[in-house]
């Protein structure tokens, strides 16, 4: 019985043309990166792909971001301090009693400047656990 060796010599292909296959790969890779950069530059120039610049408004009657696509919900009443069980820092007092209050928080407007004034607010409604209506205010309009 013949003994077989466990370790065998590997045949190495010493063909000098092996770099011939590596060159096109690098060329295609460079071309793909170049096309990606170029198309990214072109897309950045189109208004369709740009993020809208929402401007902050501050007049005698209104303060905040005038973007009624983001802040679709509106309510009006007298702005009072205090939320309900940790939800909101302020609330709008409206006709019909406490059940009609709108509890408010704001990431864009300092609501404390409008306490005890009749205002109209635009914002985004969130689900509250205790508050019947919880809103993040984006724009405040002074009514009186």
**For the chain, domain boundaries:** 56-142
CATH hierarchy code of domain 56-142: 2.40.50.110
Q: State the pairing for strand pair 118-126/90-93.
A: unpaired
Q: Are 139 and 124 in contact (CB under 8 A)?
A: no
SS3 5: coil
Q: Are 95 and 70 in contact (CB under 8 A)?
A: no
pLDDT tens digits along 12-23:
666 555 566 677
Q: pTM for the whole thing?
A: 0.59
pLDDT tens digits along 23-72:
788 889 999 999 999 998 888 777 665 555 567 778 888 888 888 778 88
pLDDT at position 72, please? Answer: 87
| Distance (Å, whole) CA 93 – CA 76 | 8
Does the structure show a pLDDT above 90 at 99?
A: no
SS3 123: strand
């Amino acid at each position: 019985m013949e003994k077989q060796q466990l370790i065998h010599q590997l045949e190495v292909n010493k063909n000098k043309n092996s770099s011939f296959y590596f060159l096109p790969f690098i060329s295609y890779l460079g071309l793909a990166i170049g096309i990606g950069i170029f198309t990214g530059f072109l897309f950045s120039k189109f208004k369709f792909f740009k993020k809208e610049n929402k401007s902050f408004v501050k007049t005698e009657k209104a303060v905040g971001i005038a973007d009624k696509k983001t802040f679709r919900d509106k309510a009006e009443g007298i702005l009072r301090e205090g939320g309900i069980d940790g939800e909101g820092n302020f609330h709008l007092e409206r006709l019909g009693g406490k059940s009609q209050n709108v509890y408010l928080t704001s990431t864009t407007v300092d609501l404390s400047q409008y306490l005890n004034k009749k205002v109209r607010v635009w914002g985004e409604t969130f689900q509250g656990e205790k508050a019947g209506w919880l809103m993040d205010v984006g724009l405040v309009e002074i009514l009186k």
